[in-house]
Chain A
Amino acid sequence: MFNEYALHHAWLIPLLPAIAFVVIGFFLRKSPVLSAFLAITMSMVSFILSLGVGYGVVVQHITVEHPLIDKIPWVDIAGLSINMGMYIDPVSALMLFIVTLVSLLVQIYAVGYMKGDDGFGRFFAYLSLFAATMLGLIIAVNFVQMFIFWELVGLCSYLLIGYYFHKPSACEASKKAFMTTRIGDFGLLLGILLLQIVFGTLDFAQLTIAIPEYVQQYGTGVLTVAALLIFAGPIAKSGQFPLHVWLPDAMEGPTPVSALIHAATMVVAGVYLVVRVFFLYSMLPNVMLIIAWVGGFTACFAATIAITQQDIKRILAYSTISQLGYMMLALGVGSVTASMFHLMTHAFFKALMFLAAGSVMHGLHDKGNIFEMGGLRHKMPITFAAMTIGVLAISGIPPFAGFFSKDEILLAVSEVSAPLYIIAVVTAFMTAFYMFRLLFLVFCGPEKPENNPHEAPSTMKFSLIILSIFAIIGGYIPHVYHFGEWIRFGDASHEGLNWTIAATSMVLSVLAMALAWLIYGSGKVSPDRLAMRFSTLYNVSYHKYYIDELYLWLNYTFVRGFGKILYWLDLYIVDGIVNGLAKLTYRMGDELRQWQTGYLQQYGLILFGAILIMVVWLVITAPISMASLRGGAY
């Protein structure tokens, strides 16, 4: 019964946090206890509902081929009909589960983390707004709904990165995030418009049917363009190269935000979008190849940067970029199953690591440099355990969650492309290396006397423990219960583990761990000497390949150049005219000069000149121009 109710009222899942946002934003902002209570209650109900949805999907045999679609007309006028509604299939049900779970846990965590902050109520209002918009995005039935919520989650991200608005770096970071993602959104919007022009509909269900027919009739030319334009959105939102630059800076936001938005949920919206419109991408092998290479390159590229970073949250941010690259890579080689699987496990262990990092920073009074930490395992045992589980999971050590999903990706990649497989394996090696580096530097070694760490409060511990459980079993349980039969595109391709691949990656991870222990744990090899030895490589990686500098330079050159042209126009043309007018008027009598009659006559002259041109145009050229302006096609 409950699953029935939940399925048909799935729209309540985004609505409840939205209500929380409105109520907190308008009435409860001043009361921390009430606002946190309301936000968490609403999240809790949403979570229970999405559990019901998940159960309902299983019981009622809703599959990716037969989704449950329920929609109401939002705009329905001649020529344009847009619906709002919900699209429930196993994929969206899984996403609902992940997002509501992580957002619930992060909110509970934030009660302890944000305690005493001036904007406590505001923070929970934003978090609720984010949850509402992200859940709305997940159940989108068409591109319009998707785009609207896509923009809204971007807005929430902007608001939350700039949460500490008195910090200039936070304001800068929020602006950077907003502007960078806008670039991608621009492409996305163009792509959507193109689809609307070609198909006359943006409904996912209708497009699923229409696109294969279209491809058979007309080929893939236009669709390739549309698909690439749409992919610009995920590139920006999911931090793929070259638009990844905003994500590390986004760590200026409070840590719970980093965990929720910039690790577990919003950044995977790009991956989810590609999954949602996989009916389009699966038709276009060339585009798939591009996606695979973008993902693979990003994964490897971000991992090389993460190796030398020193800020705990930045390391995690680059690791997030790298793992998102993994998911894209999996999509590019055609495995929705592997990608979504990794999306889920990543949400668990990355949120866990961020929350653990937040706990560390909380204990150390917002210190972020890992070289200034050390020996925290004694004073913060729970945090240490949580972080260890997270690191083991991301490194792909069995039986932790990451092992299964990573193996699935490697398997899918190995079947398609050898070079990409090598890249993926190398990335896995580097990932294990820098994650253990972080773990050893922060928790092992001698304690630093200037630090005075303390363990996190109970609400934070609670979230850490729950997420740890998910990070341990989140891979094995789905693996056993045939994850791939539900979450897939086309036929199910879920086989058992491929032990060759699994063993390779496991051995490499253990090797990476040993290497990290040599350098950072035991102190046998000095990291400084290594850095000196490979100073060029070290510098390039440490400065993130100078991409930020490159963008700054490009921005400076082009935007300033354009500005200069405009300035020149203003100086010589506009000012020239204005000054000329001023001179002319100056000659006239005092009285008249004050009334600026010269200008008025000028206006009259321009008015008549315009009328003249218009009338002549109308009389002489109208019929001819008409045909050419309309472009003939319609």
Chain B
Amino acid sequence: MDDLVYTIAFYILAAITIASAIGVVTKHNLVHSALLMALCFIGISGLYVLLQADFLAAVQILVYSGAVAILIVLGIMLTQRRSMENTNPNSGWPRGAAVVCALLFVVILIVIAATPWHYSSSMAAQDTPSVLARLLFTDYMVAFEAAAVLLLAAMMGAIVLAKGGEEK
């Protein structure tokens, strides 16, 4: 019974994710695209829930749907123009892009099908935040600190770029 529910939930979430992702690319109105992207993120966080990655799902919603998508919408608002029509036009080579994407998709499918996967038998961790926190502050210390520096650099960059261009 559980399996069936999971399977149905998976396909619904997957469909939402993929459909909204395609929408992001094809919609001609930038605001629509941005909102569809938020939806796509939510679908992905649903998939995380199904994988029992609860912390990741929460972060996904908070950071991506909450912060990133909203920031983009905010950005669109601030660079307001008269009409939102055709603010997100297609690229020059939609057909080429479609062909490459389709081929890549097929290749990935084939690879997935042909790879002998190992399935982990261990139970998923119950208290994911604390496990993650321990890993980040012990084994992955260097990467974690480097990420902190990265954020600093990004912040400085944002300030420099935003303020640099405002006055000549």
Contacts and interface: CB of A to CB of B under 8 A. Distances in A.
Contact of A602 (B86, B89, B92, B101): B92
20 contacts: A584-B93, A585-B92, A592-B89, A601-B92, A601-B93, A601-B97, A602-B91, A602-B92, A602-B93, A605-B91, A605-B93, A605-B96, A608-B101, A609-B100, A611-B104, A612-B100, A612-B104, A612-B107, A619-B107, A619-B111
Given A589-B86, A605-B97, A616 B91 contact: no
A445 interface: no
Contacts of B91: 597-598, 601-602, 605
Interface residues of A, number: 18
Contacts of B141: none
Given A605-B93, A612-B107, 11 more contacts: A581-B92, A584-B92, A585-B92, A592-B89, A597-B91, A601-B91, A601-B92, A608-B104, A612-B100, A615-B107, A619-B107
Contacts of A540: none
Contacts of A589: 86-87, 89
Contacts, number: 37
Main SS at interface, chain A: helix
Contacts of B89: 588-589, 592
B103 interface: yes
The 7 closest A-B pairs by CB, nearest first: A584-B92, A601-B91, A598-B92, A608-B100, A609-B100, A612-B104, A605-B97
A622 to B, nearest CB: 14
Nearest to A608: B100
A609 B99 CA distance: 9
Contacts of A605: 91, 93, 96-97, 100
Interface string A611-627: 11001100100000000
Main SS at interface, chain B: helix
A45 B97 CA distance: 75
Interface residues of B, number: 14
Contacts of B103: 612
A616 B107 contact: yes
Nearest to B91: A601
Contacts of B97: 601, 605
B83 to A, nearest CB: 11
B159 to A, nearest CB: 22
Nearest to B97: A605
Nearest to B96: A605
Contacts of A588: 89
Contacts of A608: 100-101, 104
A548 B128 CA distance: 83
B91 to A, nearest CB: 4
Contacts of A592: 89
Nearest to A584: B92
Contacts of A612: 100, 103-104, 107
Contacts of A597: 91
Nearest to B103: A612
B58 to A, nearest CB: 31
Contacts of B92: 581, 584-585, 598, 601-602
Nearest to B108: A615
Nearest to B104: A612
Interface in B80-96: 86-87, 89, 91-93, 96
Interface string A352-363: 000000000000
Contacts of A581: 92
Contacts of A584: 92-93
A608 B100 CA distance: 7
A601 B100 CA distance: 13
Interface in B90-143: 91-93, 96-97, 100-101, 103-104, 107, 111
A586 to B, nearest CB: 10
A589 B89 CA distance: 8
Contacts of B107: 612, 615-616, 619
